[in-house]
Amino acid sequence: MNRIKSSCVSAKNTLNRLHASDALLRVNRGQIYESMSTKLMTRFNDRAQSNHFDAKSLISATVSYGTALATFRTDYQGYEEQLSNTLRIDCTKEPVAFYDAVASARNKRSQVHDDVTVLHKYIDDYTAAFAQFASDHKDQGGGN
């Protein structure tokens, strides 16, 4: 407990910096992740469907990506709220509560990182589905 109290100020400074840098990361990366879906995947799927092509695998990958994106949003919100709660704890008076709150925030941040990994995987899945779609189109003698 003494160690927490003595490191309290520096720990809180670190948490404050992390709070701000993670918020920036959430805004900038989140924007790219959203655009992947709204500006590319969904639009290509719509175009393929309107031309009566089989786009099931593309749509499936897009749906999975959308679900993962929703999970990322929810998990980040939970992490940010936990980190904000942690910063409100007076670690000189409640060192144990502070330690537990940091541990919880750490778990939630790790979950957000896992969500990012899943998003990257679905981006690759869509790439594979698109490659198959392009290959099928070529085999069918798709021309200009």
Partner 1 sequence: MDDNTPVEPIEQLSFWDGHRYLLLIAIVIAIALVLVGISMTLYVTSGAAQLDLSRPGYRSVSSQAINNDSEFKNYSSTGPINNDSIAEFKALYEKQAASAKAVDAFSGDPLSPDTLEISAQATQ
Q: Which residues bind partner 1 (CB under 8 A)?
A: 1-4, 7, 10-11, 14-16, 18-33, 35-36, 39-40, 42-44, 46-48, 50-51, 53, 73-74, 76-77, 80, 98-99, 102-103, 105-106, 109-110, 112-113, 116, 119-120, 123-124, 126-127, 130, 133-134, 137-138, 142-144
Cβ-Cβ contacts under 8 Å for 123 (sequence gap 6 or more)? 36, 65
The tokens of 93 are what? 């008076």
CB of 94 to partner 1, least distance (A): 13
Q: What is the largest CA-CA distance in the chain?
A: 74
CB 20 within 8 A of CB 114: no
Kindly state the smallest distance separating residue 60's Cβ from partner 1, in Å: 17
Q: How far is the CB of 95 from partner 1 (least distance, A)?
A: 8
Helices (H), the chain: 2-6, 8-35, 42-50, 56-88, 95-139
- Tell me the closest approach of the beta carbon of residue 2 to partner 1, in angstroms: 6
Of 90 and 124, which CB lies nearer to partner 1 in the complex structure? 124
Q: 112, 79 in Cβ contact below 8 A? A: yes
